[in-house]
Amino acid sequence: MRRLCELVSGSKRVFAGGVGIVMLALSTGCATTETSISTPAMFAESTTDTSSIRHGQGRYVVSRAPWTFEGSAGEVIETTTYRILTTLRPGLLLDRLPTFVESAIAAYTGSFGVLPAPSQRLETYVLATRPQWARLTESLMRERAGVYLRIQRGGYAADGRGVYFDIGVQDTLAIAAHEGWHQYTQTTFRDRLPIWLEEGIAAYMEGYRWDTLSDRPVFLPWSNVERYDALRSARESGKLMPLEALLVSEPGALLDRSASDPLVYYAQVWALVHWLRESDGGVWRASLERLLSDAAVGRMGQVVPMRVGSGQSGGRAMRSTAVFRTYFTDDMESASDSYRRFVERITRPGGKDLVVLGRSPYSG
């Protein structure tokens, strides 16, 4: 899989997946606002036409209708959970898109226990070109558009919308999987997750393969060679952050340190989610599921101050650590040692062979 999102800052070029890299201007992760923004979706024609549903889409597509963006013909595809507005031309990406996003929402709601489904269709734009995407971004994000326009390759999720453009079938769908998690939590979760977990799960969702026999994706969270290679390189070069530092780091703030740090951050939070699910016989898995369930229904914000005290849960960095201490352990030294040993184990010789197969290098 090629690098998912390219952001250019002066002469510095940094690659990372997801809108989290744009956090140098978005202090709490993906952009959110309570201000309603008028979108081009409101101008889509209402005529429904299901006669042209292509093979592989029928299981999820509810309706199709014409849509035009700045003179470019496209369509609105409504699925069970998504409202896709696209200018993509007929082809493999367009054919796979409805099945992919519906399979992704099933992964979001079923990979960590049972999480709630969105209460309304998720609005998702997939533009054929970056210039179209840039003009749409200017329309949607208005005064906030500048930071998103620095993305040269990929897309973002903001205000509960996913906004992407075609960068090839494999990578466009991987972006949709990563940013789709942000889109899902923005629209469905009542409590905002700490950044390390929000970005960690988004990266965890990137790994997939397309099963041509069933004509649908199979999500394989370990199948992410890019994240694995960055993790192994950081371990070998001594650049891994200890757990305590990782919990309070923000990927955008790392841009000023070195071009590799954001990649290391995403690789480490990707590994962190795997650690919480698999280490020591899965000792943290139930706690992780409880954390996500609590955040979804708005309970996390009540539980954390009760556990660590309101004075220790204020401020973004303190909240990130407080959430970890509340749901996992107060013994940060022991947890950090366990996480370090986990990373060392999965990056040992032979680990990449298992990752390529989509298998766990920890249990494999």
CA distance 146 to 134: 10
Residue type, 106: A
Neighbour tally for 141: CB within 10 Å: 21
Q: How confident is the model at residue 278 (pLDDT cuts 50, 70, 90)?
A: very high
| E-only strand ranges, the chain | 6-9, 12-15, 61-69, 72-79, 82-86, 122-127, 151-153, 155-158, 161-165, 208-211, 216-219
Q: How confident is the model at residue 309 (pLDDT cuts 50, 70, 90)?
A: low
Q: How confident is the model at residue 29 (pLDDT cuts 50, 70, 90)?
A: very low
Selection from 322, 107, 96, 352 nearest residue 225 by Cα: 352
Q: Are 160 and 182 in contact (CB under 8 A)?
A: no
Selection from 339, 326, 342, 292 nearest residue 111 by Cα: 292
Of residues 86 and 36, the one with the higher pLDDT is 86
- Strand bridging mode 155-158 / 82-86: unpaired
Q: Are 67 and 45 in contact (CB under 8 A)?
A: yes
Backbone angles phi, psi at 34, to 5 degrees: -90, 0
Neighbour tally for 5: CB within 10 Å: 25
List, in order, residues 6 or more apart from 346 with CB less than 8 Å away: 228, 231, 271, 274, 360, 361, 362
Q: What's the chain's average pLDDT?
A: 84
In this predicted structure, what is the pLDDT of residue 250? Answer: 83
pLDDT, mean of residues 246-252: 86
pLDDT, mean of residues 66-92: 96
For 57, 145, 269, 274, 336, the CA distances from 363, given in Å and listed in that order, are 36, 44, 19, 11, 20
Is the model's pLDDT at 155 over the cut of 50?
yes
Model confidence, pTM: 0.85
Q: Are 17 and 174 in contact (CB under 8 A)?
A: yes
Neighbour tally for 179: CB within 10 Å: 29
Of residues 25 and 316, the one with the higher pLDDT is 316
Angle among Cα 42, 46, 49 to the nearest 5 degrees reads 135
**Neighbour-count burial for 42-62, b at 16+ CB within 10 Å, e otherwise:** eebeeeeeeeebeebbeebbb
